[in-house]
Amino acid sequence: MVHASRQITKLLGGLVTSTILAVVPATAQQQSPVQPKPSDTQQHRTTPGGQYQPSLDVLGGKPLEQPGAKPGEPVLSKAEFDQASQIYFERCAGCHGVLRKGATGKPLTPDLTKKLGFDYLRDFITYGSPGGMPNWGSSGELKPADIELMARYLLNEPAQPPEFGLKEMKETWKVVVPVAQRPTKKMNTLDIDNLFSVTLRDSGEIALIDGKTKKIELVLKTGYAVHISRMSASGRYLYAIGRDAKINLVDLWMDPPQTVAELKTGTEARSIETSKFKGYEDKFAIAGAYWPPQYVMMDGATLEPLKVVSTRGMTQDTQEYHPEPRVAAIVASHFKPEFVVNVKETGEILLVNYTDMKNLNVTSIAAERFLHDGGFDKTGRYFLVAANARHRIAIVDTKESKLVGVIDSGGQTPHPGRGANFIHPKYGPVWATSHLGNEAVSFIGTDPVKNKQHAWKVVQTVDGQGGGSLFIKTHPKSGYLYVDTPLNPDAEISSSVAVFKISDLAKEKPEFKVLPIGQWSGISEGARRVVQGEFNMDGTEIWFSVWNNKAQESAIVVVDDKTLTLKAVIKDKRLVTPTGKFNVYNTRKDVY
Amino acid sequence: MVHASRQITKLLGGLVTSTILAVVPATAQQQSPVQPKPSDTQQHRTTPGGQYQPSLDVLGGKPLEQPGAKPGEPVLSKAEFDQASQIYFERCAGCHGVLRKGATGKPLTPDLTKKLGFDYLRDFITYGSPGGMPNWGSSGELKPADIELMARYLLNEPAQPPEFGLKEMKETWKVVVPVAQRPTKKMNTLDIDNLFSVTLRDSGEIALIDGKTKKIELVLKTGYAVHISRMSASGRYLYAIGRDAKINLVDLWMDPPQTVAELKTGTEARSIETSKFKGYEDKFAIAGAYWPPQYVMMDGATLEPLKVVSTRGMTQDTQEYHPEPRVAAIVASHFKPEFVVNVKETGEILLVNYTDMKNLNVTSIAAERFLHDGGFDKTGRYFLVAANARHRIAIVDTKESKLVGVIDSGGQTPHPGRGANFIHPKYGPVWATSHLGNEAVSFIGTDPVKNKQHAWKVVQTVDGQGGGSLFIKTHPKSGYLYVDTPLNPDAEISSSVAVFKISDLAKEKPEFKVLPIGQWSGISEGARRVVQGEFNMDGTEIWFSVWNNKAQESAIVVVDDKTLTLKAVIKDKRLVTPTGKFNVYNTRKDVY
């Protein structure tokens, strides 16, 4: 079942991040709360200080010249500018940056866009590119009028959304159920450790599904385009963060579980984590933001924002100032009372000690630019993270607070999720990543003591089904390694999963088995992208999302890990665009 | 000799910093290298990204409308804008901030200046204010045409000077004499430890004066408006930094001493320091910048820039983003391999570990906004720093890397320089500060072990001659405490120094003796401001600058510490505007 499209899928090479997860199935009709507002209606220009300022109103159908516009520059009315800003923050900012300075996508500042010109921009947005730009027009995601608007918008100076400091956060902070009014023991009959928190991206909700009965126990409203869930060390608290930087804190002890606190930490975000070091269980949470570029540490039980820290600063290599270094993945160290904060554009990995926020100790590790997502090795001591646009993996020793090294990932645009740890039959303990940009699945030795000769090297690269992989998964009790390919342009590949038998990996060219998950779901409409395998608590079954557009049917398919056969299909009208699934036990214990 | 002007000199209250040292005697004719240049001549507007961009050229004598200007907004030609920017960076930025967000001076952003209006601004610049704004017009420092220009300039959006990262620094880096070509032992007959490095502010030079013979051994060209000198731990290397952020590294072993390396670390700066922890002597240097807001660590022997770190981030109290947190004083810890970096606008004290810059460890201590200058206690363990506009002193334990506390200074706008340490007859070890804003001289207990009840409290406040004090000084071998008042509006006070007998401080109302240093200098012209007492190495005499305008005669007056009588007057046509004096031994050993 290995076929031709195993070759590099250039469509995805180097330009796609997991934000694709967020943008691909979105529809133009969505209402976004990420609509920047001018802080002062008397201001009408983009200023060096950087406040977002719309252009003047339309008078008699003819747009006023935007103040600051030069002759010959396309002019937008206020309504157009606001609409374009909304589309930009929803569809474009994830890759091109809020300030249009470029990141995974190319820079789009007017000095560059003006050289390209209106026609080029319009066509590029319409048809996309083999470099990874989605075909917004020909896919029907954006209408021709929207695309024309966006091309004009890009010829103007970028709007800068407002800052979001402690005051703004506190204005959004709600303690729905104070700690004193919460239960002191679990009040429900849920098997919390085997619950799955499932991201329902386009409905802005999470579904809590029982790992055994597969029953949807609860659907909870969250922020816009909810991104991930994380669990407190004890498993009692669940934190979900939306792309709009809204956090919901859910108390899983209540009957039924409910949101007990809310906080918005910016206007765009991806990451949240909780303190896990001994003595600090359930005590603190941290959220990273894309905009403003910052992270905030919070009280774990109330989300009270305690310490806001900007990530604006110098790139790790050229040491030049970057105005928008976004916070990507965050994990909690098991070896120190520290959060491991990955800053994308500067390439710095921050070890943020949370024991004393008034005397805040941070170690900034100069790693590699474009840090994205990653996970710990089997021992929990080493953290491996993809620098995706650099095709590299950076490795940090969280015990010694030092960079171990930065190595080539063995493929194009690594996207490990948290990666997968297993004992390789030939090389000992390894951590694995798949790639967005090609079919490579790479194994990196992680044991510098008993397998020193293999440590921190790509010891083997095997071919998966093709590029477009987002997540790779195994479990300490599993004998298999699962590789998804939801962003592969071939529908057969994007709706199926490759499975390697770990004991076969000593072979010269290990074969994989293809599980036709999309087909197993029984859904016939839509792209049926199969994404993000997640094990249940005891490692006997793995769940995959079959992810369709909002208007179409989606499902979760449960596979028996021993037999690699279909075990169950979870379908429900409430299962709207399911993407990430987070088993409580595996998430809180970093089992992957 | 205590008289009426001992009362609070409101002229100076709360709005003056040591940058006054830099601005007061400046003349309008000075050429400043701090002239920002557009990075791209095709750009003509201030952008949200913040590049400095001049307005369009004058055509036919009539200024073009500045792009981005609104109807009714005063318009400046490119030549005018450039001239105004130069005046602004020379005269105004020190207090009001490069981005005009305000600091020691008020914010001057167009939303505020437009409410005040052109006439108000013009008059305010001309006549000054009791709040501390200098009277640029009535003092003759600026011509009416300049003032009119500045009033118009302030109604427009601020220019933002360019970033200055590693690349820009390296372009300015010069190793004049490579390490291999430098001597391996002292080649001259100078008594290095008793040399004084004297800032000749307005000639952009330092004079090296022998502490015994009082002979000017050498005058060395430095950066614009050179600010301070610091010595390497061994005393071999002298580092001078100008307000233009240009560093000169002088090898005092050479015959004659000469500049062996140069580096520019930004466009405006005040601070430099060298590594002093055991094992790191002479190894690293650090410079703080006002613009861009950042610090840079360098190789101590070559000034090679190694690590640039931005200070842009959140204020310590309200946790809101500040775009321009300037680096004030920096000292080197004796208890850890760390620099103590004071960030003015955010109020964070950074303990920057210099042992591993690739895995850079920094403790950010939330102290108090508007940190300025300060020094260690007698033991070198505690660092006390003035938060001048908050009238407070923050105290850091450099051994435990923690804030001890923040206390009211007991006066208005403390300005300690590095402060003065002595054993108070009643309260034990104290650290002293005088004030810019009033006559208070405060003593703070610094011994938390044997004098715990007095530790970190203002144990006594005595009255000096009046406000306008910049520096206070004593020496372990001296029985006296010297308080200057160079910025007091009373000529008699500004040209003399108050001396307290330390053994008298147990009295209810200790009297002070006035030394008429200005009169002793024999100079009859000019303001004869007497500033910054500095002891010689063995603590037997104290040197004061008699500081006149560039065109006038200045001098250094040497006072016998035992008898409080005139010992010598150093006059020389090369002694142009002498301000700070840095005795090599006392500076490298932090004796004050």
Closest alpha carbon within chain B to A42: B111
pLDDT, mean of residues B366-370: 97
Q: A319-323, A352-356, B48-52, B437-441: lowest mean pLDDT where? A: B48-52
Containing A153, the helix (H) or strand (E) segment is: helix A144-154
Question: Rounded distance, CA B523 to CA A283, Å?
Answer: 68
Q: Which residues of A are less than 8 Å from B44 in CB distance?
A: 70
Closest alpha carbon within chain A to B363: A361
CA torsion sign for B193, B195, B196, B202 is negative
**What pLDDT does residue B33 have?**
30
Q: Which of B42, B50, B70 sits opposite A48 (nearest CB)?
A: B50
Q: Which of A158, A163, A359 sits opposite B365 (nearest CB)?
A: A359
Say yes or no: A71 contacts chain B, CB-CB below 8 A: no
- For every residue of B118-131, which 3-state class applies, written as one string? HHHHHHHHHHCCCC
Which of A41, A42, A46, A47 best probes binding to B when mutated, by most B CB atoms within 10 angstroms?
A47
pLDDT, mean of residues A109-126: 93
CB < 8 Å from B in window 366-395 of A: 366
Contact B49 A109 (CB under 8 A): yes
**What pLDDT does residue A226 have?**
86
Helix axes A144-154 and A110-127, enclosed angle (nearest 10):
160
Question: Rounded distance, CA A35 to CA A85, Å?
Answer: 7
CA neighbor of A178 nearest in space, from A254, A287, A286: A254
Say yes or no: A508 contacts chain B, CB-CB below 8 A: no
**Could you tell me the maximum CA-CA distance found in chain B, to the nearest angstrom?**
77
Say yes or no: A365 contacts chain B, CB-CB below 8 A: yes
Q: Are strands B226-231 and B237-242 parallel, antiparallel or unpaired?
A: antiparallel
Q: Which residues of B are less than 8 Å from A364 in CB distance?
A: 359-362
Q: How many residues does chain A have?
A: 592
Say yes or no: A320 contacts chain B, CB-CB below 8 A: yes
Please, which pLDDT band fits residue B555 given cuts at 50, 70 and 90?
Answer: very high
**What pLDDT does residue A43 have?**
29
Question: Rounded distance, CA B585 to CA B191, Å?
Answer: 10
Please, which pLDDT band fits residue B72 given cuts at 50, 70 and 90?
Answer: low
Question: Rounded distance, CA B344 to CA B330, Å?
Answer: 11
**What pLDDT does residue A94 have?**
75
Non-local (6+) Cβ contacts of A548 within 8 A are A25, A523, A525, A526, A527, A528, A529, A554, A577
pLDDT in tens, B229-253: 999 999 999 999 998 899 999 999 9
A267 burial (CB, 10 Å; 0-12 / 13-18 / 19+) is buried
**What pLDDT does residue B138 have?**
83
Q: Is the pLDDT of residue B47 over 80?
A: no
pLDDT in tens, A150-207: 999 999 888 778 899 999 999 999 999 999 999 999 999 999 999 999 999 888 899 9
Q: Which residues of B are less than 8 Å from A313 in CB distance?
A: 309-310, 312
**What pLDDT does residue A72 have?**
55
Q: A566-570, B49-53, B444-448: lowest mean pLDDT where? A: B49-53
Place of tokens 């170690």: A363
pLDDT, mean of residues A241-267: 95
Non-local (6+) Cβ contacts of A88 within 8 A are A150, A153, A159
Q: How far is A236 from chain B (nearest CA, A)?
A: 30
In DSSP terms, which residues pair with A471 in a beta bridge? Answer: none
Say yes or no: B30 contacts chain A, CB-CB below 8 A: no
Say yes or no: B158 contacts chain A, CB-CB below 8 A: yes
Which of B47, B88, B350 best probes binding to A when mutated, by most A CB atoms within 10 angstroms?
B47
Question: Rounded distance, CA A181 to CA A178, Å?
Answer: 5
Q: Which of B45, B166, B361 sits opposite A361 (nearest CB)?
A: B361
pLDDT, mean of residues A351-370: 98
CA neighbor of B436 nearest in space, from B484, B375, B377: B484
Q: How far is B458 from chain A (nearest CA, A)?
A: 24
Place of tokens 């001239």: B83
Say yes or no: A48 contacts chain B, CB-CB below 8 A: yes
**What pLDDT does residue A129 have?**
76
Are B26 and B91 in contact by the 8 Å Cβ rule? The answer is yes
Say yes or no: A319 contacts chain B, CB-CB below 8 A: yes
Distances (CA, A) of A236 to A182, A199, A588: 12, 18, 10
Non-local (6+) Cβ contacts of B152 within 8 A are B74, B76, B80, B84, B118
3-class DSSP state of A154: helix
Containing B435, the helix (H) or strand (E) segment is: none
CA neighbor of A122 nearest in space, from A150, A92, A156: A150
Closest alpha carbon within chain B to A162: B321
Q: How many residues does chain B have?
A: 592
**What pLDDT does residue B224 have?**
75
Please confirm, yes or no, whether B391 is among the known catalytic residues. Answer: no
Q: How far is B324 from chain A (nearest CA, A)?
A: 10
A71-79 contact pairs (CB < 8 A, 24+): A73/A155, A73/A156, A74/A118, A74/A152, A74/A155, A74/A156, A76/A149, A76/A152, A76/A153, A76/A156, A78/A54
Question: Rounded distance, CA B267 to CA B165, Å?
Answer: 11
Non-local (6+) Cβ contacts of B488 within 8 A are B5, B9, B12, B465, B466, B467, B468, B469, B494
pLDDT, mean of residues B350-362: 98
Please confirm, yes or no, whether B334 is among the known catalytic residues. Answer: no
Which of A45, A66, A340, A399 best probes binding to B when mutated, by most B CB atoms within 10 angstroms?
A45
**What pLDDT does residue A321 have?**
97
Please confirm, yes or no, whether B92 is among the known catalytic residues. Answer: yes
Q: In what order do the strands lie in the sheet with A440-445?
A: A420-424, A428-433, A440-445, A458-463
Q: Which of A99, A158, A401 sits opposite B359 (nearest CB)?
A: A401
Please confirm, yes or no, whether B96 is among the known catalytic residues. Answer: yes
Q: Is the pLDDT of residue B198 over 90?
A: yes
Contact B46 A42 (CB under 8 A): no
Say yes or no: B279 contacts chain A, CB-CB below 8 A: no
pLDDT in tens, A226-241: 889 999 999 999 999 9
Q: How many CB pairs under 8 A join A and B?
A: 155
Say yes or no: A165 contacts chain B, CB-CB below 8 A: yes
The catalytic residue among B415, B424, B454, B475 is B415
Are A502 and A483 in contact by the 8 Å Cβ rule? The answer is no
- Strand boundaries in A50-169, DSSP class E: 58-59, 62-63
pLDDT, mean of residues A109-127: 93
**What pLDDT does residue B108 have?**
94
Q: How far is B273 from chain A (nearest CA, A)?
A: 21
What is the b/e burial string over A461-493, where b = at least 16 CB atoms within 10 angstroms of the residue's CB? ebbbbbbbbbbbbbbeebebbbbbbbbbebebb
Question: Rounded distance, CA B310 to CA B350, Å?
Answer: 12
Residue A118 in tokens: 């209106």
Which of B171, B353, B361, B396 best probes binding to A when mutated, by most A CB atoms within 10 angstroms?
B361
CA neighbor of A15 nearest in space, from A489, A356, A437: A437
pLDDT in tens, B474-489: 999 999 999 999 999 8
Are A287 and A332 in contact by the 8 Å Cβ rule? The answer is no
CB < 8 Å from A in window 329-358 of B: 356, 358
| Peptide bond before residue B323 is cis, with ω within 30 degrees of 0 | no
pLDDT, mean of residues B141-145: 91
Q: Is the pLDDT of residue B39 over 70?
A: no
Q: Which residues of A are less than 8 Å from B159 in CB distance?
A: 48
Q: Are strands B512-515 and B305-310 parallel, antiparallel or unpaired?
A: unpaired
Please confirm, yes or no, whether B187 is among the known catalytic residues. Answer: no
3-class DSSP state of B403: strand
Say yes or no: B24 contacts chain A, CB-CB below 8 A: no
Please confirm, yes or no, whether B169 is among the known catalytic residues. Answer: no
pLDDT in tens, A491-511: 999 999 999 999 999 998 999
Q: Is the pLDDT of residue B105 over 90?
A: no
Closest alpha carbon within chain B to A347: B358
pLDDT, mean of residues B315-321: 98
If you write DSSP's letter for every residue of B350-391 in order, what string do you get?
A: EEEE-S-TTEEEEEEEE--SSEEEEEE-TTSSEEEEEEGGGT
Q: Which of B47, B312, B314 sits opposite A308 (nearest CB)?
A: B314
How many CB atoms within 10 Å of residue A278? 8
The structure's pTM equals: 0.84
Mean pLDDT of chain B: 87
Residue A232 in tokens: 């407190």
pLDDT greater at residue A409 or residue B34: A409
Percent of chain A with pLDDT over 70: 87
Residue A497 in tokens: 């999963």
Percent of chain B with pLDDT over 70: 87
The catalytic residue among B44, B322, B372, B391 is B372
Containing B423, the helix (H) or strand (E) segment is: strand B420-424
Residue B388 φ/ψ region, left for φ over 0, alpha for ψ in the -120 to 50 degree band, beta for the rest: alpha
Question: Rounded distance, CA A229 to CA B57, Å?
Answer: 56
Say yes or no: A70 contacts chain B, CB-CB below 8 A: yes
Closest alpha carbon within chain A to B50: A48
Which of A40, A56, A316, A319 best probes binding to B when mutated, by most B CB atoms within 10 angstroms?
A319
Contact B294 A314 (CB under 8 A): yes
Residue A440 in tokens: 């490579």
Q: Are strands B195-200 and B205-210 parallel, antiparallel or unpaired?
A: antiparallel
Please, which pLDDT band fits residue B73 given cuts at 50, 70 and 90?
Answer: low
Say yes or no: B67 contacts chain A, CB-CB below 8 A: yes
Say yes or no: B401 contacts chain A, CB-CB below 8 A: yes
Q: How far is B366 from chain A (nearest CA, A)?
A: 5
| First-to-last C-alpha distance (Å) of chain B | 27
pLDDT in tens, B268-311: 899 999 999 999 999 999 999 999 999 999 999 999 999 999 99
CA torsion sign for A105, A107, A110, A112 is negative
pLDDT, mean of residues A550-555: 91
Non-local (6+) Cβ contacts of A307 within 8 A are A296, A297, A357, A360, B319
Contact B319 A165 (CB under 8 A): yes
Question: Rounded distance, CA A286 to CA A511, Å?
Answer: 41
Residue B13 in tokens: 């209250």
Q: Which of A70, A109, A314 sits opposite B67 (nearest CB)?
A: A70
Question: Rounded distance, CA B125 to CA B134, Å?
Answer: 7
Provide ipTM, 2 decimals.
0.83
Question: Rounded distance, CA B441 to CA B469, Å?
Answer: 9
pLDDT in tens, A54-105: 222 222 233 333 444 455 566 788 889 889 988 887 788 877 888 898 766 7
pLDDT, mean of residues B380-389: 97
If you write DSSP's letter for every residue of A26-62 in order, what string do you get?
A: --TT---S-----S-TT--S--TT------PPEETTE
Residue A334 in tokens: 């098991």
Q: In what order do the strands lie in the sheet with B371-376?
A: B371-376, B382-387, B392-397, B402-408
Catalytic sites of A, residue numbers: 92, 95-96, 133, 372, 415
pLDDT greater at residue A63 or residue B112: B112
